[in-house]
Structure 1
Amino acid sequence: MSATLALALTGLGLLDSTSFGTLLIPIWLLLTPGRVRTGRIAVYLATVAAFYFCVGVLLVLGADAALDAVREAFDGVPPTHLRLAQLVLGLLVIAWSYRLEARARGRAGEPGRLQRWRTAAMTGASPDGDGGAGGRGVRGLMSLALAATALEVVTMVPYLAAIGLIANADLSWQVTGGALAGYCVVMILPAVLLGAVRIAAHDRAEPVLRRINDWFTRNTAKALGWTVGGIGIGLVLNAVVELLAGPA
């Protein structure tokens, strides 16, 4: 695997590390009153990493077949037509970014929604409220992790972009597995580091965690829109440059 690919995957993994499931919920776990229960946080983060690794393996398998099918389908299509299609796709992605941001803002304002997730994180209960006594332990945290990651995986554009890079890099299965595993580790690394700071600094770290929590709560929707919109702008600019440069 080239250094450029490794650097790109690291950057995308760090972007993914700021999502709802990989950072905000772990911060809520760290803000639980009393001593930090490292076992609960470890169970949650391990479940998140394992889920994304398994989904990544399935997506890479499907991406190989999909890329071959796309190459065959568009073989012989004039480059100009492909660039025009890319331009239209980029404009659609930009429009989608505004819709995602508006929808995320609307959902963030629903009464009780954020509070239910916060309660589930801080008690270990199931996010749908049916955790029961057993739900407050390992199963409750795993249920919370799986629910959070399953809900946001389709909107985690950096993650999907990383899968595309890995699938298109023609890597061996050993390297592919290592790249996916490394990506998942990078995704949970900021939460692990915040946990270490919380344990080392005790209650002195709580104000910092609360400020981070407040900032991400306010800006998550905006960041999602910017990320998707940035990809759309990149597609549009690349298509325009190629169209102006003429056929290859």
Structure 2
Amino acid sequence: MTFALAGTLLVLALVDSTSFGTLLIPIWFLLAPGRVPVGRMLVFLGTVAAFYLGVGVALLFGMGALLDQLNGLTENPVFLRAQLVLGVGLLVWSFFIGKPRKDADGTRAPGRLTRWRERALGQQGTRTGLGGLVTLALAAAMVEVATMLPYLGAIGLLGTSGLSVPEQVGALAVYCLVMVLPALVLLAGRLVAHRLVDPLLQRIARWMEKSGGEMTAWIVGILGFLIARDAVARMPELLDFLDGLG
């Protein structure tokens, strides 16, 4: 593996480590009153990392066969129109992501992050045993996997890197470990220096809860724009039509 590839994968993994599944929910575990729920947090992070590793390996091994099957299909006019509609749809949808919802009485409804927190910490009368905790971790990972563009980009880089299969799987495993590493570092800090770490955890939790929806909206919007732009660039008849309007 080249230094450039390793560095790129490291940066992408650190970006992925800031999601609500890999950082925000673990921070809420650490902010729970009483003893630090070390076991629950390790089960949660281990499940999330294992899920992403499984998805990554499946995509990695299926990428070559999928590309062979799709060869030529991407230039089909019907496919290009569908791609354009998808891109525009994602771009429009991004304007509505993260908007606060309201209950029937007009009060602001709890957001998705708040609901995850309540379930993860057993708040609001909920109880989450080991099986429920694993299910919660899988649900959090599945909700995010479609918008984790850095992870999908890392899989694409590994698929075209020329590395052997064991090397690709090993790199992906390290990627998933780095993805949960910041949460593990905060856990260690909380155990040995909680007075110093708690204010930092509070600030991170407030910032992520406030900006989480906005970050997701930006990711979805950029993805939609890139998909639509790629479709338009491969539709000469549409480009000619737009030139005619100008």
Determine if the TM-score, normalized by the shorter chain, exceeds 0.5: yes
**Residue in structure 1 matched with residue 56 of structure 2 by the alignment:** 56
**Residue in structure 2 matched with residue 197 of structure 1 by the alignment:** 189
Instruction: Tell me the secondary structure at the aligned position of residue 192 of structure 1.
Output: helix
**Residue in structure 2 matched with residue 103 of structure 1 by the alignment:** 97
Q: Shift of residue 104 of structure 1?
A: 3.2
Higher helix proportion: 1
**Residue in structure 1 matched with residue 177 of structure 2 by the alignment:** 185
Distance 1:189 1:90 in 2: 38
What are the Cα deviations for residues 86-131 of structure 1, in whole angstroms up to 9, with x where unaligned?
Answer: xx969964762452352233469633644332122123x8x995x5
**Residue in structure 2 matched with residue 246 of structure 1 by the alignment:** none
Matches within 5 A, 1:187-226: 187-226=179-218
Instruction: Report the RMSD for the aligned CA atoms in angstroms.
Output: 3.2
Q: Shift of residue 197 of structure 1?
A: 1.5
Instruction: Tell me the secondary structure at the aligned position of residue 105 of structure 1.
Output: coil
* Unpaired segments ≥5 residues, structure 1: 244-248
- Cα distance, 1:30–1:23 mapped onto 2, change above 3 Å: same
* Unpaired segments ≥5 residues, structure 2: 103-107, 237-246
The yes-or-no answer on 1:67 pairing with 2:67 is yes
The yes-or-no answer on 1:39 pairing with 2:33 is no
Q: Shift of residue 35 of structure 1?
A: 2.0
Instruction: Tell me the secondary structure at the aligned position of residue 34 of structure 1.
Output: coil
Q: Shift of residue 168 of structure 1?
A: 2.3
- Cα distance, 1:143–1:161 mapped onto 2, change above 3 Å: same
Q: Shift of residue 47 of structure 1?
A: 0.8
- Cα distance, 1:8–1:232 mapped onto 2, change above 3 Å: farther
Q: Shift of residue 203 of structure 1?
A: 3.4
Is the 1:93–1:228 contact (alpha carbons within 8 Å) kept by the matching residues of 2?
A: no
TM-score (norm 1): 0.76
Distance 2:174 2:54 in 1: 13
TM-score (norm 2): 0.77
Is the 2:10–2:175 contact (alpha carbons within 8 Å) kept by the matching residues of 1?
A: yes
Q: 1:164 aligns with which of 145, 156, 166?
A: 156
The yes-or-no answer on 1:153 pairing with 2:145 is yes
Q: Shift of residue 159 of structure 1?
A: 1.4
One-letter amino acid matched to 2:18: T
Is the 2:94–2:221 contact (alpha carbons within 8 Å) kept by the matching residues of 1?
A: no
Moved more, 63-72 or 176-185: 63-72
What are the Cα deviations for residues 131-166 of structure 1, in whole angstroms up to 9, with x where unaligned?
Answer: 5xxx43x22321211111111111212111222222
Matches within 5 A, 1:224-235: 224-230=216-222
